[in-house]
């Protein structure tokens, strides 16, 4: 495209259209943000209020009513630990599949993905019974185990598609030069595979943070994550929109802000190496 | 290199996944052929296929299967079509493109429970909701979304969450479009529709496969959005198979019937998996 001193009309139209669509799609979140700083009366005012004096009262009330920090801590602990554990199990498997490909590799990958398609609800009764008999009901550990296992297929697949793009020759050269397996992994594979590990980890962090099914069914007041806290606002307090918004905002802000900073890496990783 | 090492490295992942699959499966099969109601612990024993018959002849069964397919199909269709449109719109540079990208991806990071409550109350409430206000502004009668269009409401919520994901995947793919080819086709007098048909869409084939695959995996058993908004109703209008099983297990306390239902869900997942393997296997093979 040639650069002129004047702005082309096509660019203006495209810019306006893109911004209009974006603001439309972002509106519900923006509205949630605004409502969190309103009084309950302002929240349901007709017509909707865009200009008002913001208040922090809702956030205080949410914290008083339910121990936000406990739920937030559970969310952080379960998502971070399950991500680390998942990477520790998935990375060796992905390495092995990518660099020592056998004729079963593809079948194993497909099998792994197919376990992910089994609806969680299918395993609800047995997992609930197992958690109950082992005393893990309503604990962080139960969620860490379940999150790790349910994210594992995606992690192996994502890491595999990253690792297989690393040229084998580099690893072989290192081996020829007498590098031990540990050196090969630490000095060659780790730097080259860092991008893949990062985007896989990021995705799992987001998925675990937002996971609702197992959190709702396996935990309550002790091991509950922010997803359970919000669900508890669903019926009676649903009528108090300002408080609901404040609680929601507190639940999603950490992961959304985190996502903003890592979105490029994350999207790149999600393409499963199929999209360049 | 030891030739056993690759297998040793794979073992933890395969073993844990195998256990994760087989233990619940065996237990589910066992529960599905016994009488197992959490409210009536005194009644137990082998009852054969009774639970299966009960689940399949439940009047909610076929509606829930249909809803599952409708939900999945609509969301995939909406996100793929609008996602491609959006990706084409923001493909070339314009002022504020970086910020647009960040704002667009945001709904993808919102947890399903918040997504559901946000739409249920602040957007779709028939009196105070934003949509009702917009309808009134244009002189229309506000719609009571969750009562009159429950399944559509859930489809809107889920699509809102997954559209950004699809759009950004397509956008990433578009960046590797061959610009010279596009330029050449323009020289040859191809219009935009022809470029779309013969250059853009074929280029997006693989990313479409990826989007469909990931959405299939995550949307086959949508739960939180239904649980926090419609509760499957009114009637069965927004009950999918996952929610029906949940109802049997935790609302009717009938773990036996829920287990029979779960095995049906596994069957459904396998049908989807076969479809997926065909689709993805074809598109991801190098």
Is the pLDDT at A67 greater than 70? The verdict is yes
- Farthest CA pair distance, chain A: 75
Question: Percent of chain B beyond pLDDT 70?
Answer: 97
Domain boundaries, chain A: 9-56, 67-232
Q: Which of B281, B5, B170 is nearest to A100 (CA)?
A: B5
Q: If you ran DSSP here, which 8-state letter would residue B108 be given?
A: G
- Look at residue A236 in the predicted model and tell me its pLDDT: 58
SS3 B89: helix
**Residue-wise pLDDT tens digits, A155-205:** 998 898 888 888 888 888 888 888 887 888 888 888 888 888 988 999 899
**Residue of chain B whose alpha carbon sits nearest to that of A34:** B122
Per-residue pLDDT at A29: 93
CB A228 within 8 A of CB A148: no
Distance from CA of B264 to the nearest CA of A (A): 9
The answer, yes or no, to whether residue A145 has pLDDT greater than 90, is: yes
CB contact (8 A) between residue B108 and residue A271: no
pLDDT value at residue A183: 83
Asked if the bond preceding A199 is cis, omega within 30° of 0, the reply is no
Residues A74 and A139: their CA atoms lie apart, in Å, by: 9
A185 CB within 8 Å of a chain B CB: no
3-state secondary structure chain A: CCCCCCCCHHHHHHHHHHHHHHHHHHHHHHHHHHHHCCCHHHHCCCCCCCCCCCCCHHHHHHHHHCCHHHHHHHHHHHHHHHHHHHHHHHHHHHHHHHHCCCCCHHHHHHHHHHHHHCCHHHHHHHHHHHHHHCCCCCCHHHHHHHHHHHHHHHHHHHHHHHHCCCCHHHHHHHHHCCCCHHHHHHHHHHHHHHHHHHHHHHHHHHHHHHCCHHHHHHCCCCCCCHHHHHHCCCCHHHHCHHHHHHHHHHHHHHHHHHHHHHHHHHHHHHCCCCCC
Per-10-residue mean pLDDT of chain B, 286 residues long, equals: 77 89 86 81 78 85 90 94 93 88 91 90 85 88 87 94 91 84 84 85 85 85 84 81 83 83 84 76 57
Assess A174–B contact: CB distance below 8 Å, yes or no. no
pLDDT score at B197: 84
What pLDDT is stored for residue A276 in this prediction? 45
Q: Is B166 on the interface with A (CB under 8 A)?
A: no
What does pTM read for this prediction? 0.87
Q: Using the Cα atoms of residue A124, residue A207, residue B150 and residue B82 in order, give the sign of their dihedral.
A: negative
- Split into its structural domains, chain B has a count of 1
**What share of chain A has pLDDT > 70, as a percent?**
93
Is A218:A146 a contact under the CB 8 Å cutoff?
yes
d(CA B122, CA B145): 12
Rounded CA-CA distance B175/B97 in Å is 14
Structure tokens at B26: 């065996």
Distance from chain centroid for Cα B279: 17
Q: What is the CATH number of the domain that holds B40?
A: 1.10.3720.10
Give pLDDT, residue B31.
85
Range of the domain at B71: 5-284
Write the DSSP symbol of residue B234: S
B106/A209 touch (CB, cutoff 8 Å), yes or no: no
* Nearest-10 Cα torsion for B251, B256, B261, B262: 100
Answer whether A259 sits within 8 Å of B109, measured CB to CB: yes
Q: What is the per-residue pLDDT across B41-87, written as a single tens digit (0 to 9) for each? A: 777 778 878 888 888 888 888 998 899 999 999 999 999 999 999 99
Q: Look at residue B273 in the predicted model and tell me its pLDDT.
A: 77
- What is the pLDDT, as a whole number, of residue B220? 81
- A222/chain B closest Cα distance in angstroms: 19
The beta-carbon neighbor of B210 closest among A28, A89, A271 is: A271
pLDDT for residue A272 is more than 80:
no
For the domain A67-232, what is the CATH code? 1.10.3720.10
**B112 in A contact zone (CB under 8 Å):** yes
Contacts of A227 in chain B (CB under 8 A): 111-113, 224
pLDDT value at A4 more than 60: no
Q: How far is CA B61 from CA A31, B236, B268, in A?
A: 38, 9, 13
pLDDT of amino acid A31: 92
The Cα–Cα gap between B264 and A121 comes to 11
Give the pLDDT confidence of A79-134 residue by residue, as tens digits.
Answer: 999 999 999 999 999 988 888 888 888 888 888 877 777 777 778 888 888 998 99
> What is the mean predicted confidence (pLDDT) over A6-15?
84
Residue of A26, A181, A274 with shortest CB distance to B210: A274
Contacts of A106 in chain B (CB under 8 A): 281
With a pLDDT cut of 90, the percent of chain B lying above it is 18
Q: Which long-range contacts (CB under 8 A, 24 or more apart) does B153-157 make?
A: B153/B119, B153/B120, B153/B124, B153/B229, B153/B230, B153/B238, B154/B71, B154/B222, B154/B225, B154/B226, B154/B229, B154/B230, B154/B238, B155/B70, B155/B71, B155/B74, B155/B75, B155/B78, B156/B119, B157/B115, B157/B116, B157/B119, B157/B225, B157/B229
A119/B265 touch (CB, cutoff 8 Å), yes or no: yes
DSSP H helices, B90-178, are 97-105, 112-117, 130-137, 145-148, 150-174
Question: Residue A142: which pLDDT band, with cuts at 50, 70 and 90?
Answer: very high
pLDDT (0 to 100) of residue A114:
77
Q: Helix, strand or coil for residue B34?
A: strand
DSSP conformational letter for B92: S
Is residue A25's pLDDT more than 80? yes
């Amino acid at each position: 495209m040639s650069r002129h001193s004047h702005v082309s009309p096509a660019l203006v139209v495209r810019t306006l259209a893109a911004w209009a669509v974006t603001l439309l799609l972002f509106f519900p979140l923006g509205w949630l943000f605004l409502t969190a700083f309103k009084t309950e009366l302002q929240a349901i005012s007709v017509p909707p209020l865009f200009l008002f004096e913001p208040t922090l009262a809702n956030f205080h009330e949410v914290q008083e009513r339910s121990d936000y920090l406990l739920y937030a801590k559970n969310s952080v602990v379960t998502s971070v630990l399950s991500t680390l554990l998942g990477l520790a199990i998935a990375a060796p498997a992905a390495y092995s599949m990518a660099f020592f490909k056998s004729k079963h590799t593809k079948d194993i990958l497909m099998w792994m993905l197919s376990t992910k398609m089994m609806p969680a609800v299918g395993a609800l009764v047995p997992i609930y019974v197992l958690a109950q008999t082992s005393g893990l009901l309503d604990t962080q550990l139960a969620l860490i185990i379940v999150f790790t296992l349910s994210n594992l297929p995606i992690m192996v697949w994502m890491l595999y598609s990253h690792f297989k793009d690393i040229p084998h020759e580099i690893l072989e050269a290192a081996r020829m030069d007498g590098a031990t397996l540990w050196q090969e992994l630490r000095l060659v594979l780790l730097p080259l595979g860092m991008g893949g590990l990062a985007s896989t980890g990021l995705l799992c962090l987001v998925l675990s943070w937002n996971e609702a099914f197992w959190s709702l069914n396996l935990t309550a007041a002790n091991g509950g994550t922010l997803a359970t806290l919000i669900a508890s606002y669903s019926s009676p307090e649903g009528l108090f929109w300002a408080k609901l918004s404040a609680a929601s905002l507190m639940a999603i802000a950490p992961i959304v802000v985190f996502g903003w900073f890592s979105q490029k890496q994350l999207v790149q990783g999600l393409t499963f190496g199929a999209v360049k | 290199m030891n030739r056993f090492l690759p297998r040793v490295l794979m073992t933890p992942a395969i073993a844990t996944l195998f256990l994760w699959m087989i233990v619940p499966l065996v237990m589910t099969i066992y529960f599905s052929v016994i009488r197992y109601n959490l409210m009536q612990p005194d009644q137990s024993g082998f009852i054969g296929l009774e639970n299966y018959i009960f689940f399949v002849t439940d009047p909610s069964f076929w509606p829930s299967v249909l809803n599952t397919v409708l939900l999945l199909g609509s969301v995939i269709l909406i996100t793929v079509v609008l996602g491609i449109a959006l990706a084409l719109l923001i493909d070339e540079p314009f002022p504020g493109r970086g910020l647009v990208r960040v704002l667009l991806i945001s709904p993808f990071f919102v947890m399903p429970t918040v997504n559901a409550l946000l739409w249920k109350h602040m957007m779709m409430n028939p009196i105070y909701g934003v949509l009702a206000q917009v309808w009134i502004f244009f002189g229309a009668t506000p719609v009571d979304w969750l009562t009159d269009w429950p399944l559509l409401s859930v489809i809107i919520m889920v699509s809102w969450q997954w559209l950004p994901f699809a759009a950004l995947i397509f956008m990433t793919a578009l960046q590797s479009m061959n610009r010279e080819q596009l330029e050449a086709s323009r020289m040859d007098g191809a219009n935009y529709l022809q470029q779309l048909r013969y250059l853009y869409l074929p280029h997006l084939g693989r990313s479409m496969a990826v989007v469909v695959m990931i959405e299939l995996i995550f949307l086959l058993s949508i739960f939180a959005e239904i649980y926090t908004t419609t509760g499957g109703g009114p009637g069965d209008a927004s009950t999918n198979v996952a929610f029906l099983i949940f109802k049997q297990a935790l609302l009717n306390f009938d773990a036996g019937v829920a287990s029979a239902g779960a095995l049906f869900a596994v069957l459904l997942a396998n049908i989807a998996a076969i479809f997926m393997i065909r689709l993805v296997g074809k598109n991801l093979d190098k």
